[in-house]
Amino acid sequence: MSEILTGTFKLKVGLAEMLKGGVIMDVTSASEAKIAEQAGAVAVMALERVPADIRKEGGVARMADPQKIIEIMDTVSIPVMAKVRIGHFVEAQILEALGVDFIDESEVLTPADEEFHINKHLFKVPCVCGARDLGEALRRIAEGAAMLRTKGEAGTGNVVEAVRHMRKIQSEIKRLTTLGEEELVAEAKKLGAPLELVSYVHNNGKLPVPNFAAGGIATPADAALMMQLGAESVFVGSGIFKSEDPEKRAKAIVEAVAYFDDPEILAKVSRGLGESMRGIDVSKLPQDELLQTRGW
Amino acid sequence: MKIGILGIQGDVDLHRKKLEEAGLDWCIVKKAHELEGIDGFILPGGESTTISKMLERYNMDKVLKEKIVDGLPVLATCAGTVLLASRIEDGEEEISPLGILSIKIKRNAYGRQRESFEVPLKINLGGREEKIVGVFIRAPKIVEFWNGVDVLGTFEESPVMVKQGKIIAMTFHPELSDGVAVYKFFEEIIKGSV
């Protein structure tokens, strides 16, 4: 029989491609996962607590209990993602052993390593990481990330940081395409990223893996905003299950992402959703409570 | 000739690039009225539950079914193939397929993402044998077929590419591998030359 390959980078990025134009929802139980699936989510992120609660309760935030992840995997047919702490490659090994479909090495959890991220090439399961700028994005890809997302500021219900990060990455990509070949080595040094990836972006005007939006998205309009700014899909964390009517809001955000460029539909789906999550003014947050500064 | 690509969710952009590479015109279809004036239609890969629910919510399912039954040529990959199926093994409460293609399909039949795989395949495109790398991502499996379904390719004895009338459907992703042979074959189907 001919050779069968598994765990290739093509297969990892391939799954990310399949998730484009969709919504990935944070869930903390099998019943929430079912609501997300029925609303039309393309995947769920299995968590112990949503970011808003992590923020409130403090303490060390870790990978979810495998029991909970298994219950969620048994309940829905869509892909299941789960988070590991930055640098905690054993949590990633455990998630891979469970058969999770995507691993999020996430700043939302308490970092386990303040110097190194996980070598994501070692895993057959694809990994996603957050980024605030192009240098960070390319470093994560160099480590094997098959998908990126903006970090935003998770658990705030405030989209401002996700917008900042998406705009930053997009404008840095645009700028790279205008440079001469001779400028790329110096640029790679400045970005702190491998020359090979800097050249790829210079030649193609885009990242070599899909780039999604995350961190503070709470309304259909927020989701559509991120899509119009160039995100290829949207992660919604606390925004759904911390709102008054999660079912209705989840459905509305799915429709807003599919029809992100159609204001008539956006107006229709935004009506009567009940109260959004309360939200936090990010500029009032003390520096040491920011999640986005985790990761290097 | 213009080929519409269902643009609600999934790897729409990869299909667009393949059409461009094959020198074919394309447009994105997100609403029922946009199905007018197209000569062929692509149902991309993505999440079949999401796409199915959106087709229903935006009243596209019935119009699309009518068009295909009336002879609109279709190229479907992975989730797209699930959507066309007559029957789905385990999971009809999550998806109502269009019920056009005479197959029974099992979703995620090979396992989870960890079990996704690439394998060289031989497919029969109108009498020509072509080699293609089959990229199977959380792929479905055609477990039964009937009524005039031609099998164009198999893996481990299950059909992975079938043709019925002007429909070609795959459980793998030709948009993720090199070459445009599948798209050229679709062009021939649209022209009526195969």
Q: What would the pLDDT profile of A196-242 be if each residue is shown by its tens digit?
A: 999 999 999 999 999 999 999 999 999 999 999 999 999 998 999 99
- Contact of B54 with chain A, judged by CB distance below 8 Å, is answered with yes
Superfamily for domain range B2-191: Class I glutamine amidotransferase (GATase) domain (3.40.50.880)
A118, A84 contact by CB (below 8 A): yes
Mean pLDDT of A187-201: 98
Q: What is the residue extent of each domain of chain B?
A: 2-191
B119, B134 contact by CB (below 8 A): yes
Q: Which of B15, B20, B66, B78 is catalytic?
A: B78
Mean pLDDT of A96-125: 97
pLDDT at position A209: 98
CA distance B193 to chain A (A): 32
Residue for token digits 């279709």?
B74
**Which pLDDT tens digit goes with each residue over B4-13?**
999 999 999 9
Q: What angle do CA A252, B62, B142 make, to 5 degrees?
A: 90
Q: Mutation test of the interface with chain B: which of A17, A72, A259, A269, choosing the one with the most B Cβ atoms within 10 A?
A: A17
pLDDT at position B149: 97
Res. A1: pLDDT tops 80: no
Q: How far apart are alpha carbons A282 and B177 in whole angstroms?
A: 44
Task: Name residue B84's amino acid.
Answer: L
* Share above pLDDT 90 across residues of chain A, in percent, rounded to a whole number: 89
CA distances from A148 to A73, A152, B25, B36 (A): 23, 12, 31, 37
Q: How far apart are alpha carbons B140 and B143 in whole angstroms?
A: 9
Residues in chain A with CB shorter than 8 Å from the CB of B12 are 20-21
A35, A250 contact by CB (below 8 A): yes
Higher pLDDT pick, A296 / A266? A266
B18, B175 contact by CB (below 8 A): yes
- If we measure between CA atoms, which residue out of A189, A183, A184 comes closest to residue A200? A184
Res. B173: pLDDT tops 80: yes
Helices (H), chain B: 12-21, 48-57, 61-69, 79-84, 181-191
Q: Do B9 and A20 touch (CB under 8 A)?
A: yes
pLDDT at position A146: 98
Mean pLDDT of A60-76: 97
Q: Does residue A206 carry a catalytic annotation?
A: no
pLDDT at position B194: 83
Residue for token digits 């990242």?
A207
Res. A265: pLDDT tops 90: yes
Length of chain B measured in residues: 194
> Among partner residues A7, A14, A102, which is closest to B176 by beta-carbon distance?
A14
Mean pLDDT of B147-169: 97
Strand partners, A2: none
Strand partners, B5: B28, B42
Give the start-end residues of each E strand in B96-189.
101-106, 117-125, 128-136, 141-145, 150-155, 158-164, 167-170
Res. A2: pLDDT tops 80: no
**Phi, psi for residue B12 in degrees, rounded to 5:** -55, -45
Query: Closest chain A residue to B52 measured between Cα atoms?
Result: A40
**Which pLDDT tens digit goes with each residue over B51-80?**
999 999 999 999 999 999 999 999 999 999
> What ipTM was predicted for this assembly?
0.97
**Burial class, B71, CB count within 10 angstroms (exposed 0-12 / middle 13-18 / buried 19+):** exposed
pLDDT at position B95: 87
Q: How far apart are alpha carbons A201 and A181 in whole angstroms?
A: 12
**Which pLDDT tens digit goes with each residue over A118-144?**
999 999 999 999 999 999 999 999 999
Res. A12: pLDDT tops 80: yes
pLDDT at position B90: 81
- If we measure between CA atoms, which residue out of A12, A74, A60 comes closest to residue B137? A12
Residues in chain A with CB shorter than 8 Å from the CB of B11 are 14, 17-18, 20
Q: How far apart are alpha carbons B163 and B148 in whole angstroms?
A: 9
A64, A51 contact by CB (below 8 A): no
